Amino acid sequence: MPSVALSDILATARVVALPLATRFRGVDVREAVLFEGPQGWSEFSPFVEYDDAEAATWLAAAIDFAWMPQPAPVREVIPVNATVPAVAAASVADVWARFDGCRTAKVKVAERGQTLADDVARVRAVREVMGPEGRIRIDANGAWNLDEAEHAIHALAEFDLEYAEQPCADVGELAELRRRVRYMGIPIAADESVRKAADPLAVARAGAADILVVKAQPLGGVRTALKVVADAGLPAVVSSALDTSVGLSMGVALAAALPDLEFDCGLGTASLLAADITDTPLRAERGRVPVGRITVDPALAERHAAADDRRDWWLARLERCHRLWQERIA
């Protein structure tokens, strides 16, 4: 990939702060940097707690999406799942109503400060609003140890789980958990063990997962993510990191280019936002989102512009990460 000057990125860069309809990952506002290249708009939005070395990979993905042609799509729409944050069971129906026509729900569990009983109540509420035909997957973000994960999966198995995503943080624990619960027929999916690992294929080589969850930004772009899936030889679910619709369109480009797409994808999270940067946000309609790029509406970007101090923080981060990215490609 050719070098792209920082000045070319800053020429169109806009820092936005979008309110969430439902608190998610401990945040009420999602911030992102949007910029436009020859191929269209792109997004740089690593979570604020990530260090510059990790965030620079997200910037590589954003630059690639803005400046380089993307792999050809093999499908025109992407089936997506609903995402249910760690809300009280009584709030599940309201969250579910934001996801039109979805047949699958990813339910967050193992939230800090909550109990397994809270998780069971939430998943039960999801099953009740979805009915018996809906698919439920749970995501613990690596918060359980091995024994906690085994106990939790037993407690939640009655709700007919499609799979359990990143129940443990450690690859060795994932492999052992997979062995322990194999008789239950509940697959193990790996997310953080792919996107945050120095070697994203280690989890596959260890036999620690049945499914890979891949995200375009954290893996460095669509082509890199496609290679990870191909080299791993496992089915993949394409997901997102609570992006704006621009960032989601990068994930959609990845899902559209995968040769096989067995599972609904986590690319409908614009429904968790109370605002977006386009008047055609990538929200689920009949359980699907269209393939294609998103154009930023200048009026919406201005309306949701980040405060000056947050804009300066993000642009300084962008500059640092750009320096690291240039060192990597030199």
For helices 52-67 and 245-257, angle between their N-to-C axes, nearest 10 degrees = 70
Q: For the domain that residue 134 is a member of, what is the CATH number?
A: 3.20.20.120
Evaluate whether residue 214 is within a structural domain. yes
The whole-number pLDDT of residue 22 equals 85
**Same domain as 253, residue 125:** yes
Check whether residue 100 and residue 245 sit in a common domain.
Answer: yes
Of the candidates 254, 288, 290, the residue with the CA atom closest to the CA atom of residue 82: 288
In a domain? residue 25: yes
In a domain, 28, yes or no: yes
196 assigned to active site = no
Do 195 and 319 reside in the same domain of the chain? no
Give the whole-angstrom CA distance, residue 125 versus residue 135. 13
Look at residues 262, 223, 269 and name the one whose alpha carbon lies nearest to residue 247: 269
Q: Distance between CA atoms of 295 and 203, rounded to whole angstroms?
A: 36
- Of 106, 108, 196, 227, which residue is the catalytic one? 108
Residue numbers of the chain with a pLDDT score lower than 70: none
232 and 202 in a single domain? The answer is yes
Q: Which two tokens stand for residue 172?
A: 């060795």
DSSP string, 109-132: ---TT--HHHHHHHHHHHHHHH-T
Is 197 contained in some domain? yes
pLDDT at 2: 74
Residue 318, Cβ density class (10 Å: 0-12 exposed, 13-18 middle, ≥19 buried): buried
In a domain, 230, yes or no: yes
260 is in an annotated binding site: no
The span from the CA of 209 to the CA of 197, in Å, is: 14
| Assessment of whether the complete model's pTM goes beyond 0.85 | yes
Structure tokens at 312: 């300066």
For residue 277, being part of any structural domain is answered with: yes
CA 25 to CA 329: how far, in whole Å? 32
Structural domain count of the chain: 2
Q: Could you tell me the CATH number of the domain that includes residue 314? A: 3.30.390.10
Residue 87 domain-assigned (yes or no): yes
**CA–CA gap between residue 271 and residue 257 (Å, rounded):** 23
- Considering the domain architecture, whether residues 126 and 268 belong to the same structural domain is answered as yes
Residue 76 assigned as binding residue:
no
Q: Do residues 230 and 204 touch, judged by C-beta distance below 8 A?
A: no
- The residue written with tokens 């619960």 in the block is 181
Q: Are residues 91 and 213 in the same domain?
A: yes
Range of the domain at 25: 6-70+298-329
pLDDT at 327: 96
CB 45 within 8 A of CB 16: no
Give the pLDDT confidence score for residue 1 in this predicted structure.
Answer: 74
- Tell whether 130 and 228 lie within a shared domain: yes
- Residues 125 and 265 occupy one common structural domain: yes
239 and 285 inside one domain = yes
Distance between CA 293 and CA 3 in Å, rounded?
23
User: Same structural domain for residues 135 and 248?
Assistant: yes
* Alpha carbon distances (Å) from 245 to 256, 268, 329: 16, 9, 28
User: Do 58 and 95 belong to one domain?
Assistant: no
Is 210 a known ligand-binding residue?
A: no
Residue 307: CB partners within 8 Å, gap ≥ 6?
17
What's the rounded Cα separation, in Å, for the pair 314 and 319? 9
The verdict on 91 and 141 lying in the same domain is yes
Question: Is 1 contained in some domain?
Answer: no
pLDDT in tens, 284-300: 999 999 999 999 999 99
